[in-house]
Amino acid sequence: MAQAIGVDIGGTGIKAGIVNLEHGTLDSERIRVPTPEGARPADVLDTVREVLDTLGVTGSDLPLGVAFPAIVKYGRTLSAANISKDWVDFEAEKFFEDGLGRHIAFVNDADAAGVAEVRHGAARDARGLTIMTTLGTGIGSAFLYNGVLIPNTELGHMRHDGESIERWAAYSAMERESLSWEAWSTRLQEFYSLVEFLFSPDLFVVGGGVSKHPEMFLPLLELKTPIVSAIHRNASGIIGAASLAAD
Ligand code: BGC
């Protein structure tokens, strides 16, 4: 049975699992440990090692995909919103490969989640433009046009009141400011209405930390575009990273 390992590095947690590539599901439990304070490269690498060890896959020759919360271009991380600024313009893929002593596939976290949902989830067989958004510490986005990923779209960094809109509308903003679901949904409405106007998508898929509670906010949004929650919820990043590693 074809398997690969997926690691999803987020601003708050580092998650990993062994993925069944045929079904796009987890063959192992989902391991999660908190992202180290400050999320500096050496500390993140140590935590990834720990997570792989807990999963029992250190030294495994299964393909390994690592999803990361930054712009990723030719293996370099070009941005750092909820992680240490040390990642800006950093040879991250090589850093992880050297540190883990093995080859990896390295990709933006929302792009990985989008690939999982297009191959095995809510956007399977979707035509036209699917926009995957992840609502967690930040807001991640992935554009999938007829199933093909257009990477590094970064919708969470559209401006709102002079700062990235994710500061105001991500799930972390709701937690930080103790907003009610209704109050937070008003912010999401503004975010999704703007994205809908700019890109006229055919489908929105919502993943990330909040996807455990889709019924609390999806019905409150008024959009022309269908909006559904990610089938793989918060495991989409793991599944997509693993799936891309096996390509
Ligand atoms: C980052 C994105 C990432 C998103 C979700 C944003 O702050 O800029 O690259 O996909 O957070 O983790």
What's the CA gap between 190 and 68, in Å, rounded?
26
User: Is pLDDT at 26 greater than 80 in this prediction?
Assistant: yes
Instruction: Report H helices in 15-150.
Output: 41-55, 92-100, 109-120
* Structure confidence at residue 145 (pLDDT): 98
Burial 75-91 (b: 16+ CB within 10 A, else e): bbbebbbbbbebbeebe
Q: Is the dihedral of CA 118, 172, 169, 163 positive or negative?
A: negative
Q: Distance, CA 134 to ligand 1 centroid (Å)?
A: 8
Q: Which CATH class is domain 124-230?
A: alpha beta
Which amino acid makes up residue 80? A
On whether the CB atoms of residues 227 and 210 are closer than 8 A, the answer is: no
The ligand 1 atom at the shortest distance from the C-alpha of residue 156 is 6
Helices and strands (DSSP H and E) totals, the chain: 7, 15
Q: Give the Cα separation of 90 and 132 in Å (integer).
A: 26
Q: How far are the Cα atoms of 82, 231, 247 from residue 242, in angstroms, in the given order?
A: 23, 16, 9
Q: What is the rounded distance in angstroms from the CA atom of residue 205 to the CA atom of residue 240?
A: 14
C-alpha distances in Å from residue 84, one per residue of 66, 96, 242: 17, 16, 25
Contact of 66 with 57, CB cutoff 8 Å: no
Domain borders along the chain are: 3-111+236-246, 124-230
Residue 209 has pLDDT above 90, yes or no: no
Flag whether pLDDT at 3 surpasses 90: yes
Ligand 1 mean position, distance from CA 82 (Å): 8
Q: Would 3-111+236-246 and 124-230 be classified into the same CATH topology?
A: yes
Structure tokens that stand for 152 in this block: 């590094």
Mean pLDDT of the chain: 97
Residue bearing the CA closest to ligand 1, atom 8: 70
pTM recorded for the entire structure: 0.98
CATH architecture, range 3-111+236-246: 2-Layer Sandwich (3.30)
Res. 149: pLDDT tops 90: yes
Q: What is the pLDDT of residues 99-144, one digit of tens each?
A: 999 999 999 999 999 999 999 999 999 999 999 999 999 999 999 9
Ligand 1 pocket test, candidate residues 135, 139, 171, most atoms within 8 A of CB: 139
pLDDT attached to residue 211: 85
- Atom 4 of ligand 1: nearest residue by CA position: 140
Instruction: Flag whether pLDDT at 1 surpasses 80.
Output: no
DSSP state of 30: P
Residue 179, token pair as written in the block: 């907003």
Question: Which of 166, 167, 168 for a ligand 1 pocket mutation test, highest count of atoms within 8 Å of Cβ?
Answer: 166
Residue nearest to atom 12 of ligand 1 (CA): 69
Model confidence at 247, pLDDT cuts 50, 70, 90, reads very high
Mean pLDDT, residues 74-79 taken together:
98
